[in-house]
Structures are given as structure tokens and as C-alpha cells.
Amino acid sequence: MNSAVLTIQCADARGIVYNVARFIFERGGNLIDSQQYTEELESRFFMRVHFDGGDLDEIARELPAFADEHGMEAALSRSTQRKRMAIMVSKYDHCLYDLFLRHQYGEINADIALVVSNHPDLKEVAARFNVPYHHVPVVPGARGKAEQQVLDLCAAAGVDFVVLARYMQVLSPLLVDAYRRRIINVHHGFLPAFQGARPYHQAYEHGVKLIGASSHYVTEELDRGPIIEQETIRVNHTHRVSDLVALGRDLERKVLSNAVKAHAEERIMVYRQRTIVFD
């Protein structure tokens, strides 16, 4: 399809929707779907437009001048330019399997270019889905060298964004800067509660009645990036630690896959530490 997604954000003002629609129409485009949102506290306007037809080369060429004229931040993504993602994983396999299966079923509008792991354990899983698997150990004191190797692998494979599918290593600014707002992580807890190791054990010890999982963009601050997706489930005193772990795995799979799908479909817009996630 000769279609594309245009996303814009700017200070709220009269006529934005009209001007965007006219810009696309005058270049032969036809709107398929349009969503917009105004953040009232700071009077910030966000818009996502899916359209087809028209001269996409002309639209891409003239978009910067149009955006500058109206004080907009704008981005154009063509349907023919399918994104490529890298998956980073350690030893937990549930999120990796889920992403592979959803990709196989056509639920994720992106291609899995490669899998990178600091352990060799899941190599056979990637092989079942015919995806290259790279074992990149993270040696104490040599994190930068390992991350540079990851960056080289991603560059060679044409990777657009990175998914941390329970990758149990903290990323340095080297990798974060290279894929700013393009690294999606899943946190095994409802942020910001029960951070750190053994979150379900902490939850069990505190007798919680609600557990959750969160997916967010990675920043330099650990587990403090803009949140994309969250989900919770109610529990009670009859749930054992093993029950919480099992329920948590389901939540992790769901929030991560939803975040990946939203990113691949250009449905997420970030403003400061907040995200606007269109349906």
C-alpha cells in the first residue's frame, strides 16, 4: 500500500487539523484515520494521521518547511518501510517466545532482525524461528565493549528499535543515546512499587492485593523512562509466590507486546516524561 503515518506535536492553536488535512489533500493524499489530543495543562497538541495515496516523496520533501511554518515537530513513516527490531534477552524466555509467536501470526508490524543475549541459553529458541542469535557476554568492567558490539550488530542488521525482553543488565548511556526513545523495556512490577530484585517475593511479604507489570522507554535513570503500557491483576492471601510469578509472567508478556506493537505502528508520542498512546 502507498500509505503513511504522519505524527505531529505543537502548541495548541486554531486550525491545526485543517492545515494538516489540507497539506495532505493538496498533495493527493486521502485520510484513512485521524486521532488528536490536547494536553490541557500545557496546551500541547498531538496528532496522528494515517493516509494513503499522494506523492510520498513530495510530502516528505515539503514536510520540514510545513512543520517549521506552523511550529510543529513532525515525522513521516511509510508503510513500505517496515521497521526492524532487535530483541535483547538473558535467561527468561516467556517474553521472547511471545514476541516470536506474535510476529509469526502477523500481529507485530515489524521484523525481528536478531536476538542478542548475555547468555547462550536461548540460542535454540531463536533457531526455531530462524532468527540470528548473538551471544555477547557482559564482563565486569567491560560493559562498554559489549554494548559497542551490540551496536555494531544492530547497525549491520539495520535495526530501528530495541526490545529488552527481560534483559537483566543495566544499559549504559552508550546504548541509550544511540537508540533514544527507541529502547522498550518490560519491568516485572507496577512502577514504581517494589523495584529491584525478587519483586514478587516483596509483594508476597507485604500481602499485596494488586500486582502488575509495566513497559517503558529506557533512559539513563533506571526504570524511570516514559511509561507506555501498564496492567494489573488482583490477588489475595491465597496466592503463593509461585502463583504471583505465573500471573506476573502473563502480565509481562502482554504489556511488552502491546508496547512493541504501538511503537511499530507509530502510535506513541513522547512529551517530556509522558507518553500519548493512540488506539
Q: How far is CA 105 from CA 73, 75, 98, 110, 140, in A?
A: 34, 28, 11, 12, 39
CA distance linking residue 165 with residue 92, whole number of Å: 8
DSSP 161: E
Q: pLDDT digit string (tens) for 79-132?
A: 888 999 999 999 999 999 999 999 999 999 999 999 999 999 999 999 999 999
If asked whether residues 177 and 264 sit together in one domain, one would say yes
If asked whether residues 31 and 130 sit together in one domain, one would say no
Q: How far is CA 200 from CA 94, 224, 266, in A?
A: 16, 20, 33
Domain that holds residue 129: 83-277
If asked whether residues 38 and 147 sit together in one domain, one would say no
Amino acid at 22: R
Q: pLDDT digit string (tens) for 210-249?
A: 888 999 999 988 778 899 999 999 999 899 999 989 999 9
If asked whether residues 94 and 198 sit together in one domain, one would say yes
Q: What are phi and psi of 205, to 5 degrees?
A: -65, -25
Coil, strand, or helix at residue 226?
coil
Residue 204 has pLDDT above 80, yes or no: no
Which of the listed residues 78, 93, 112 is the one where a domain comes to its end?
78
pTM, entire model = 0.90
CA distance linking residue 53 with residue 25, whole number of Å: 9
Beta bridge partner(s), residue 37: 46
DSSP 208: -
DSSP H/E element including 47: strand 44-53
- State the catalytic residues: 223
Mean pLDDT computed over 249-254: 95
Grid coordinates standing for 31?
485520510
If asked whether residues 32 and 121 sit together in one domain, one would say no
